[in-house]
């Protein structure tokens, strides 16, 4: 596993449990080392164009945490990190007055991770459908997945909510993405953000920006969207994890 270099600096003091995704990884030349690292199949956690699939994955992983936890922290790379942040924010929203010790996770390690989707029930809210061309941030989803929006209109449609915010909607839920302008800093849990210098801002920097400033730390690396590597980098990340864990626990 790609985390072996980091884990080697933390074990046996720290124990790790690995959960694999079930959605075939969309390979791209922005992650050559990631793709070439293993000859086994690579998987993501969900179909980003299916709201129900995202919610099902979130619930399944929360069940893992409930049945096998509590865990001190969650570590995730790329989509895995986005899902870790999504779970953490959901826990914080559901338990606004909980102390850190009362939550089933205490901190996050997020590597090259995008801002997670913000999915909520429509609850009868009226929406106005709009052309996908009027929603460039939502259009990017279809571009990343090399999907024609017209092929997915039976599951999701671009729309404008009553407050003017753009979202993808199905019959029961809307999905947008956490945004500092709209949502402030919803990620108030201690978090370590490991981001690729030169990587697109939506794959790390924007997630760091919605984290509570006093609770978040950022480490940059030179490998773009690839997994950070090298002994010095692994030691730097491991030191930051130890320091954050000591503060959070």
Query: What pLDDT was estimated at residue 136?
Result: 87
Residues in CB range of 215: below 8 A, 6 or more apart? 187, 188, 189, 190, 191
Query: What pLDDT was estimated at residue 182?
Result: 95
Query: What pLDDT was estimated at residue 32?
Result: 41
Query: What pLDDT was estimated at residue 100?
Result: 86
Alpha helices by DSSP H, listed for 69-146, are 79-94, 136-144
DSSP 187: B
Give the residues across from 194 on adjacent strands. Answer: 111, 219
Give the residues across from 24 on adjacent strands. Answer: 43
CB-based contact 200:144 (threshold 8 Å): no
Query: What pLDDT was estimated at residue 44?
Result: 65
* Mean pLDDT per 10-residue segment, the chain (249 residues): 83 86 52 45 71 92 91 92 96 94 95 94 94 86 70 82 95 94 96 91 91 95 85 93 92
* C-alpha–C-alpha distance, residues 80 and 43, integer Å: 10
Query: What pLDDT was estimated at residue 21?
Result: 65
CA 149 to chain centre: 23
Phi, psi of 144 (to 5 degrees): -60, -40
Task: Please report the domains of the chain, with CATH numbers, ordered by start residue.
Answer: 4-116+178-248 (3.40.50.1820), 123-177 (no CATH)
Query: What pLDDT was estimated at residue 245?
Result: 93
* C-alpha–C-alpha distance, residues 171 and 244, integer Å: 41
**How confident is the model over 22-54, as pLDDT tens digits?**
655 554 444 444 444 445 555 566 788 889 999
């Amino acid at each position: 596993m790609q985390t072996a270099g980091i884990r080697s600096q933390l074990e046996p003091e720290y124990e790790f449990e690995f959960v694999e995704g079930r959605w075939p990884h969309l390979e791209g030349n922005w992650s050559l080392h990631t793709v070439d690292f293993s000859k086994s199949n690579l998987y993501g956690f969900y179909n980003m164009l299916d709201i129900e699939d995202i919610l099902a994955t979130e619930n399944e992983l929360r069940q893992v945490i409930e049945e096998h936890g509590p865990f001190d922290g969650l570590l995730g790379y790329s989509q895995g990190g986005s899902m870790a942040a999504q779970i953490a924010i959901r826990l914080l929203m559901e338990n606004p007055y909980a102390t850190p010790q009362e939550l089933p996770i205490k901190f996050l390690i997020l590597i090259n991770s995008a801002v997670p989707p913000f999915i909520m029930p429509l609850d009868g809210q009226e929406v106005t459908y709009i052309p996908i061309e009027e929603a460039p941030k939502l259009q990017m989803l279809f571009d990343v997945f090399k999907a024609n929006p017209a092929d997915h209109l039976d599951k999701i449609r671009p729309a404008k909510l009553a407050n003017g915010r753009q979202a993808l909607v199905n019959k029961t839920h809307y999905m947008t993405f956490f945004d500092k302008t709209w949502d402030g800093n919803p990620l108030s849990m201690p978090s370590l953000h490991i981001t690729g210098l030169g990587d697109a801002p939506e794959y790390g920097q924007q997630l760091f920006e919605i984290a509570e400033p006093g609770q978040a730390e950022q480490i940059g690396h030179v490998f773009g969207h690839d997994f950070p590597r090298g002994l010095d980098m692994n030691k730097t990340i491991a030191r930051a994890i130890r320091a954050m864990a000591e503060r959070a626990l």
